[in-house]
């Protein structure tokens, strides 16, 4: 499956975004704040998604701010760092 | 000493109680059908909060918001909640996640954050941006009574309005536990869930006054009930109605007229809050000044409770 689609499905499932469909999440729109409107607890959930599914650990919170910006930035980081 | 009055009351139960003006007029639930009658939570809770909320949290947010709205109070001086078991759905979700997780891996934080008993009072405070006194009482079948005692103390010591709630949710594992504890089938069948929220206040010209709440040894309950009423120059036979409920005890043969509220809404640890709401509505709609009602909750072999309400 396309990594971006897979990520959207995992976000919807893990973050209980009940009324959101994968096609509603644009690849380049911000996940936090004005875009999908995720919050700090969601950020923790995304850290768990990356760890459990892609074996990627985010150690530096400052780094996470850029990585979690959008589906595009998440997918790029996963492709570069997946073990 | 200030007296304590009920300003508003909202309950979600297996009966159609939400937004019901007078609970005493509710029709009976079909025998053995303990399905929660839930409102459309989207009408009461912001989507961002709703998506992460368990059933217990949804019930509590909708009931507390509505009780505040009905009272005209925007932000109470205290938020006090009683719950016997806390967030069971999230507790199970968190524990299952822990069991499945491999050594060294992370566990999703959402369920953990909301599995604490105080997550209800905490979420309400977050929603209201309320940084006042915030307390959760966990005392099995007397959780609501201890929360109520706390609320009364707060009002007597100067709080103008207290948001007081009681909530418990049912999950499948409770059926199995009740069976393992060899509960008789008629008690197991009554396992249920529900939520009640009230705004209690210190000043009222008319309404329903919370006169007294007593925790009693179960074996002494009837003598303590007589003594309590006597201290207020009241007689049990003059009561508008006596509402009786049970948590972990089988039904008793009682030597006075009464109505069993746990036969209507089922057994859950904080169900006495429903009995309290029922008594309040009965006095409010059918009582005249001076009339009183009792709520008697048989919790377990050790301790039970008596609540005395009076129409003013």
- Hey, are the CB atoms on A45 and B110 less than 8 Å from each other? yes
* pLDDT given for residue B133 in this prediction: 98
pLDDT number for residue B229: 97
Supply the DSSP symbol for B30. P
What's the pLDDT tens digit per position in A38-73?
Answer: 888 899 899 989 988 998 988 777 888 899 999 999
Give the SS3 label for residue B158: coil
- The per-residue pLDDT for B177 is 93
Q: For residue B50, what is the nearest residue in chain A, using CA coordinates?
A: A16
Name beta bridge partners: B81.
Answer: B136, B165
Closest partner residue to B51 (CB to CB) among A17, A47, A51 is A17
Note the pLDDT of residue A57.
Answer: 87
Query: Does B49 reach chain A within 8 Å, measured CB to CB?
Result: no
Q: Is the pLDDT of residue B30 over 70?
A: no
ipTM for the whole complex: 0.70
B146 vs B305: CA distance, rounded Å:
10
Residues of A in contact with B48 (CB under 8 A): 37, 39
**Per-residue pLDDT at B31 exceeds 70:** no
Say what percent of chain B tops pLDDT 70: 98
Residue B182 touches chain A, beta carbons under 8 Å: no
**Report for A24-38, A42-56, B8-22, B37-51: range of highest mean pLDDT:** B8-22
Residue B110 is nearest to which of A19, A37, A41, comparing CB atoms? A41
Contact residues, chain A, for B110 at CB < 8 Å? 16, 41, 44-45
The pLDDT, as a whole number, for residue B263 is 93
The string of pLDDT tens digits covering residues B232-290 is 999 999 999 999 999 999 999 999 999 999 999 999 999 999 999 999 999 999 999 99
Chain B environment of A33 (Cβ under 8 Å): none
Q: Dihedrals φ, ψ of A49, to 5°?
A: -60, -45
How far apart are the C-alpha atoms of B191 and B99, rounded to whole Å? 27
One-character DSSP codes across B209-260: EEEEEEEEEGGGHHHHHHHHHHHTT--GGG-SEEEEEESSS-----SS--EE
- What residues have CB less than 8 Å from B231, skipping those under 6 apart? none
pLDDT exceeds cutoff 90 at A33: no
Say yes or no for a CB contact (<8 Å) between A39 and B48: yes
Tell if the CB–CB gap between B109 and A14 is shorter than 8 Å: no
Q: How far is B35 from chain A (nearest CA, A)?
A: 23
- What pLDDT score was predicted for residue A58? 85
Write down all domains in chain B, each with its CATH number in brackets: 5-201 (3.40.47.10), 208-311 (3.40.47.10)
Chain B CB contacts of A15 below 8 Å: 51
Q: Do A41 and B51 touch (CB under 8 A)?
A: no
**Residue-by-residue DSSP string for B49-83:** HHTT--HHHHHHHHHHHHHHHHHT-SS-SEEEEE-
Is B110's CB within 8 Å of A39's CB? Answer: no
Residue B104 scores a pLDDT above 80: no
Q: pLDDT band at B162, cuts 50/70/90?
A: very high
- By Cβ distance, the residue of A15, A37, A47 closest to B106 is A47
In angstroms, what separates the C-alpha of B107 from chain A's closest C-alpha?
7
Q: Which is it for strands B241-246 and B78-82: parallel, antiparallel or unpaired?
A: unpaired
Least CB-CB distance to A48: which of B52, B107, B113? B107
Q: Do the beta carbons of residue B91 and residue B29 sit within 8 Å?
A: no
* CATH number of the domain encompassing residue A29: 1.10.1200.10
Q: Which of residues 78-117 of B touch A (CB under 8 A)?
A: 105-110, 113
pLDDT tens digits along B118-142: 999 999 999 999 999 999 999 999 9
User: Which one of A14, A24, A40, A45 makes the best mutation probe of the B interface by having the most chain B beta carbons within 10 Å?
Assistant: A45
Count how many residues are written for chain B: 312
Contact B167, B270 (CB under 8 A): yes
Structure tokens at B266: 């089922």
In which domain, by residue range, is A70 found?
3-81
Among the partner residues B48, B105, B109, nearest to A37 by beta-carbon distance: B48
**First-to-last C-alpha distance (Å) of chain B:** 16
Joined tokens for residue B126? 């977050």
Interface of A with B (CB under 8 A): 14-19, 37, 39, 41, 44-45, 47-48, 51-52
Cβ distance of A14 and B108 shorter than 8 Å: yes
pLDDT in tens, B167-221: 999 999 999 999 999 999 999 999 999 999 999 999 777 799 999 999 999 999 9
Is the predicted pLDDT of residue B145 greater than 70, yes or no? Answer: yes
Distance (Å, rounded) from C-alpha B7 to C-alpha B77?
A: 14
Q: What total number of domains does chain A contain?
A: 1
Is B32 a residue whose pLDDT tops 70?
Answer: no
């Amino acid at each position: 499956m396309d990594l971006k689609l897979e990520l959207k499905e995992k976000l919807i499932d893990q973050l209980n975004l009940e009324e959101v469909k994968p096609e509603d999440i644009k690849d380049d729109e911000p996940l936090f704040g004005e875009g999908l409107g995720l919050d700090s607890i969601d950020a923790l959930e995304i850290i768990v998604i990356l760890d459990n599914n892609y074996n990627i650990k985010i150690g530096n919170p400052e780094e996470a701010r850029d990585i979690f910006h959008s589906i595009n930035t998440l997918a790029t980081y996963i492709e570069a760092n997946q073990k | 000493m200030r007296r304590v009055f009920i300003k508003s009351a909202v309950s979600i139960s297996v009966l159609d109680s939400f937004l019901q003006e007078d609970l005493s007029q509710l029709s009976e639930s079909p025998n053995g059908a303990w399905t929660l009658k839930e409102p459309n939570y989207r009408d009461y809770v912001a989507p961002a909060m709703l998506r992460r909320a368990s059933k217990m949290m949804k019930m509590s947010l909708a009931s507390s918001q509505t009780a505040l709205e009905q009272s005209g109070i925007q932000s109470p001086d205290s938020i006090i909640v009683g719950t016997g078991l806390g967030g069971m759905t999230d507790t199970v979700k968190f524990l299952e996640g822990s069991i499945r997780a491999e050594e060294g891996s992370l566990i999703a934080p959402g369920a953990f954050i909301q599995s604490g008993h105080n997550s209800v009072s905490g979420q309400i405070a977050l929603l209201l941006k309320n940084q006042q006194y915030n307390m959760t009482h966990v005392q099995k079948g007397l959780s609501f009574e201890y929360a109520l005692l706390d609320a009364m103390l707060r009002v007597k010591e100067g709080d103008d309005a207290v948001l007081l709630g009681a909530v418990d949710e049912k999950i499948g594992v409770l059926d199995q536990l009740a069976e393992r504890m060899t509960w008789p089938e008629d008690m197991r069948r009554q396992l249920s869930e529900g939520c009640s929220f009230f705004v209690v206040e210190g000043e009222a010209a008319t309404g329903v006054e919370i006169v007294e709440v007593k925790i009693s040894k179960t074996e002494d309950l009837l003598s303590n009930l007589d003594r309590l009423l006597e201290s207020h120059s009241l007689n049990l036979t003059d009561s508008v109605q006596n509402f009786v409920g049970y948590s972990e005890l089988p039904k008793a043969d009682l030597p006075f007229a009464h109505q069993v509220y746990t036969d209507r809404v089922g057994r859950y640890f904080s169900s006495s809050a429903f009995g309290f709401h029922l008594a309040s509505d009965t006095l409010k709609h059918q009582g005249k000044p001076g009339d009183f009602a009792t709520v008697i909750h048989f919790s377990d072999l050790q301790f039970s409770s008596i609540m005395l309400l009076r129409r003013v």
